[in-house]
Amino acid sequence: MLCTDEQLDYLFHHLILPAKLPGHDDTLALNEEFLINFVIQILARFGELSGDDDDPVAKHCISMLKNTRDARDSNGYLDSRSVQNSLKRLSEQGKFNPITDARTADATSMYHITEQNAGLIIRRLESSYSLQTFELSPTNKATMTTKGRLIREFPATVTEVSAKDFNNSSFQEVLTKTLVKMSHQAVAEMQPQVKKAQQMHNEERDTTDPRIVTELLTSFLRGAGTPGEIKAIQKRTREEVSWNNSRDPWTRSPLWLLLRVGLQLTMTCHPQGSLHLYKRFMVFLIAQALKIACEKSSSSEMIHLMIAKISRRLCKLGDIEDGAWLHTIRDIVSSASGNLKKRWINIQRRNEQPLDFNALAEFNYEEHTAFSLPELDTFLATIPRRQHLLTTKEFKAKPIALALEPLTLPTINGSVNNDSKSFELAAVETWVQGNLDTWLEHHLSSEQSCHGLKTLLEHYHMSAERWYTGRPEGMSRMLLTLGEIWVAIDKMAIHHNPLMLKYRHEIPREVFSDLLLHSKSDMERLNRLEEYLEDPSGKLKLSALLSYGQRLSFAVEYFRQSPKLQAKKEQIERNAQRDRDKKLKQFRELKAKYDAIMKKYDDMQCEQVLQVQHDVEYYIHPKNKCRRCALPAKVKKLKIAPHEWPLPADELEAQTSVFEMDVPVTFAVWRDATVYFLDNILRFESSSAGDYPRASFPLTTYKPLSPWFESQRHRVQLLSEIKPHSQTHRNQKSIETCTEADVCLNNGLRFQYHDSSRNIFLSTFKPTTDISKRCTIKLPSRAHALQRFMARTWRCENGETPNQAIASQSECPEYMSLGEFKALALLPYGYRLQWMNILTQLAMPTVDFNKPETALFLLQMMLQAGPFHKDETTRQAHTRPTEVEFGSQLLKYLNESVSRVQENWESYTSLCSFTCLTTRLLAIADKPLSTQILELITRCRKISYKWVMHLLTKVQDIEHRTQRKEFLEAAIHTALVCIETFNLEGEHFEQVLADEQQASILLETSIIIHNNADLQHLQGDALYGIMLDRYEMTMHRALPILANEIVSKGSLSLDLAIKRRWPDFVRTGEWSSISDHWVTTATGKLQVHISLLTGQLLVNGSPVSRLPRQYETHREYQKLFGSATMEVMPSNLPGMSFCATKMFHGYTVHLGIQTKKRVDDLLVRLSKKGSTLDLIPLRTLQDLLPDILADNHVHWLEEASGDVEFCHVTDPWPSKNMES
């Protein structure tokens, strides 16, 4: 039989039920008719092949299915005339039919009562008729919640009606009308219900309850008959509900279930039938579907699944007798399997790589061992064309935003890969500290300025967060700065919305106790911030962030005070009521139209057409052209879109929604900034984290309210995860079943406050210890066991207890003694005791002050702010050093400790600890001690400076690479200690920089650090990183003072510093400023530039005695020279910029940079006794040679011979063979 692709897919999905199913309803009357005809045709073929015993059963089943087919109209509903004819044929069994010239064989009729999800089988018995009813499709819940197959019994009810009553024409007429009406007219009460917006709605996606047939119709029938014996069959059915962005889901065809149940009941109750016969036919049926699939060259997956289905069913049948029907199945399966095998062979052939052995035999090995290196040839061609380079480079200062306007908000550069990022951030932090309050006074009345503050908050945080990660002191400065910006936003919002004073702001002050702060001014700033965050009594417990639709919420209270919002709500409701009245009028008109059509249907008679055959006149009913039969389908199309009230039914929620449509600008900015502060900055936990809305319907895009929406989009907004009625599958109601209540609906949305950035609903923010983690210094990995003793969070202010320290002694690292481990673990315990613990260790040390772990412990203890105390700026954690007696003792033992190490430069870590303690003591100690503390700081400066000079001398004198690196590392560490002696504030800082000798030490040391601070082997050193950050902050604070002293007051401090680094320096002009941090002068014909911020010194645009960083960070340079610094002077060779002042492995080294294809090639030329060698760039050989020869070797070209030597990276210098 003819079969379209769509019909084949229909058979495949419903008969086979594969894993991948359509996500939408595929019910079509044409497909269902094809299914019935397909089963009828296969039944006829099966009867022919099965023998005389099975043929009568097959014919009986065919008769039943033809009745099922003929009783349907073109829309799949029951046709009244066809049903009535089939009932008559049941009563006329055995009578001669002159048209067909045969005797009728109808003993069974089966009907699909579509709208009631039910089936009805009427079977003629000896003296009565059996009417069997049953449910077809199970409920979605039963399908989705049942594991495995559904176990169901059929039929549900059986009623026997006597032949006399059944054959009565009046009975058949009433039964016909009842079945037809049930077939096309749904009953609202039988449809599953769902609740939405406090109203119940019909759930059209679920299956209909069949009680209208199984109970109501059965009760009607039993008035004329009696309950019959139920000889039920049990079926284990597989069902699925598949939905994918469609109105209705896909479910397995109820008609297919009807056919299976009818066939099984008929075959098992027939005298010559059996259950085994039914199973054999089902295998045969699927085999015929497989045959069609093969004929249409369907997908391999479809064919394979059909073969598997047939195989499983045959296995279940067990031992079966051979027969023509089984041969047919075997032939179909064999043909299909062969087809699949051929397809697989073709796929393999298409993907095979041809093996051409003839070409291999003709392969010329000599031609393929010579290959070209075009990049290398190009590079070699440039060597003789190199030209002498100019020795003077144009100076271009990199701009750094340091000088910020007091009354203009700073802008932030988002780039993190920026050498000046720390200074740019420091400039913003300085602006906030010094100018934010003044700016706020001038802009307090401007609503738009609140946006600028929020932008500053977010941009500064995003930039600073990335830069300060792993830098606890920087992270603390960032959090303090952000806290002050948020306070400014809060003040501005309160100024415009005084009602906010009644509500809490969600930010607890306790979390700021973990910040690391050095200066007293920063501690005062923190104290002011915490005082502002203190939650005074009398504020409402409600949150201005989260209280949606609550009686005392900010939105509701604001609405009650706003005539504008109240008027807006009234206007919305008036318009909504007008639209609702129009909708009711439309509904009543459609309802009247529906009633008129149904009355017309009841009054009309089906059309009949006179036919003549064999001189016999008879009438037929043209179902597809009958005007009466077309009316049920017409009324099915009568639908109405319900009216949804635009505002929530709850009055407080409605007021909140109107508030959010015109939310005050400053409040919206404050709310977004507060959520950003809690979530992104403080990283508090949200109870709804990870609970994303299952759908997104924001208030901002809700069309019924869009004409009244005035607010801009914000991070916090109202959103519903529940659809409005207009976007559900119930957005069109059938006039047939709906009422006025179904048309006039409450608002279906359920709004909640939503964080659009995280895509979660706002909920209570719970404080975490994340700030503690970010503001706690990390110990080296070897001391990981001590890390938890260093951490003191706001939840555990005193830290780990002594008992925990004693219990953890088994974790002591091997390099540390047990006593030292215990002493370090106990050192931070008790924030009120910490300074006493430090004094004890200075007086009677049990810890090794020369270990970086000790220095890191001391830094964490002396800098961590500790719990808030409103009467003391220094807080209880740092009250002790403010006492003169205690401070004197601390100073005494610090002096003694410095004396113990002053002659041993290897104790630079100890000196670092003592220096940091001393500068911290100066920041918080009482004034009478200041002079003595400054004397100790000066002493530490002299010692550290002397050590730096000593170590640099050793660096120049030692040729051994490893020892040179160790001495240079010690020199840089010590230089950072020297810089720390300038980490002062206020008048002390200004006085020390006004001293030319002291200021020259700062400047000289900064030059030394700049030339060496990029040593890669120091990057993982935690103490080095901390001291380097402190050095940068010190130089940033010193910049305006130094610039004023040098440029304006003529201080000689810079001359002294440069002279010690460059003995030939003699200034012949005045120092002048050319940017925020660069100053310039001349010495003879040379132009000198120096950055007062970074210590970078340039002569004629190039570094003095030091290769530019571009050279030292180049991969090829590090292969040859490692991290060693190189003393250089201008080169006299073409293409070369620098020449090393010392020999390397007996060679004179010249260096230059050549840019090719946006890649910088390092040029290295070695010369010795007339022999010249050039370094070949790695890029010219990469991907052309094996990696082991390219990446793991250095390549040299000998100019005279043209030979290239490959030197392993462990010994990268050319061999003696090349020298000769």
Residue 689, in any domain of the structure = yes
Residue 576, in any domain of the structure = yes
Residue 709, in any domain of the structure = yes
Residue 828, in any domain of the structure = no
- Segments in the chain below pLDDT 50: 94-104, 1016, 1217, 1219-1220
Answer yes or no: do 1119 and 1152 share one domain: yes
Q: How far is CA 85 from the centre of its chain?
A: 65
Beta bridge partners of 1142: none
The pLDDT, as a whole number, for residue 1169 is: 79
Residue located via tokens 């950035």: 757
Six-digit token string for 20: 């991948």
- Work out the number of other CB atoms within 10 angstroms of the CB of residue 407: 10
Beta bridge partners of 1172: 1167
- Region at 406 (left for phi over 0; alpha for psi -120 to 50; beta for the rest): alpha
Q: For the chain, how many structural domains are there in total?
A: 5
**Alpha helices (H) along 1127-1199:** 1187-1190
Answer yes or no: do 150 and 1 share one domain: no
Strand, coil or helix: 1? coil
pTM score, two decimals? 0.74
Answer yes or no: do 108 and 121 share one domain: yes
Answer yes or no: do 656 and 684 share one domain: yes
Closest CA to 545 of 670, 687, 662, 671: 671
In b/e form, how buried is each residue of 764-786, taking b as 16+ CB within 10 angstroms? ebebebbbbebbbbbbbeebebb
The pLDDT, as a whole number, for residue 829 is: 94
The pLDDT, as a whole number, for residue 100 is: 43
Answer yes or no: do 556 and 570 share one domain: no
Six-digit token string for 1143: 């020999």
Six-digit token string for 438: 């003044």
Answer yes or no: do 311 and 260 share one domain: no
Residues 6+ apart with CB under 8 A from 732: 639, 640, 641
Pairing outcome for strands 1193-1198 and 1078-1083: unpaired
Whether 1034 and 982 have beta carbons less than 8 Å apart is answered as yes
Strands, E assignment, 626-689: 639-640, 643-644, 685-686
Last residue of a domain, one of 518, 534, 560: 560
Residue 1103, in any domain of the structure = no
Last residue of a domain, one of 351, 376, 411: 351
- Work out the number of other CB atoms within 10 angstroms of the CB of residue 742: 19
Answer yes or no: do 154 and 302 share one domain: no
Give the range of the structural domain holding residue 1166, as residue numbers without chain letter.
Answer: 1115-1219
Closest CA to 1008 of 986, 982, 1031: 1031
**Pairwise CA distance, residues 630 & 521, whole Å:** 89
Q: What 8-state DSSP symbol labels residue 101?
A: T
Last residue of a domain, one of 240, 273, 306: 273
Q: From residue 452, how far is each of 147, 368, 467, 496, 999 by CA, in Å?
A: 59, 67, 22, 16, 39
Residue located via tokens 């008929």: 266
Closest CA to 636 of 743, 739, 736: 736
Strand, coil or helix: 45? helix
The pair phi, psi for residue 543, each rounded to 5°, is -95, 140
The pair phi, psi for residue 1086, each rounded to 5°, is -95, 140
**Pairwise CA distance, residues 505 & 791, whole Å:** 28
Answer yes or no: do 556 and 636 share one domain: no
Six-digit token string for 824: 């370090």
* Residue length of the chain: 1220
Answer yes or no: do 612 and 707 share one domain: yes
**Pairwise CA distance, residues 917 & 858, whole Å:** 8
Answer yes or no: do 501 and 628 share one domain: no
Six-digit token string for 1007: 């030059």
Residue 988, in any domain of the structure = no
The pLDDT, as a whole number, for residue 97 is: 45
Q: Within the chain, how many helices (H) and strands (E) appear? A: 44, 39
181: amino acid identity, one letter = K
**Pairwise CA distance, residues 182 & 217, whole Å:** 10
The pLDDT, as a whole number, for residue 243 is: 86
The pLDDT, as a whole number, for residue 623 is: 66
Six-digit token string for 584: 């009711």
Answer yes or no: do 284 and 141 share one domain: no
Residue located via tokens 């089906």: 606
Closest CA to 965 of 1010, 1016, 921: 1016
Q: How far is CA 306 from the centre of its chain?
A: 42
Residue located via tokens 């291999």: 360
**Pairwise CA distance, residues 1057 & 1062, whole Å:** 9
Strand, coil or helix: 915? helix
Residue 596, in any domain of the structure = yes
Residue 159, in any domain of the structure = yes
Residue located via tokens 């990870």: 690
Beta bridge partners of 157: 133
Answer yes or no: do 16 and 81 share one domain: no
Six-digit token string for 1187: 């990696």
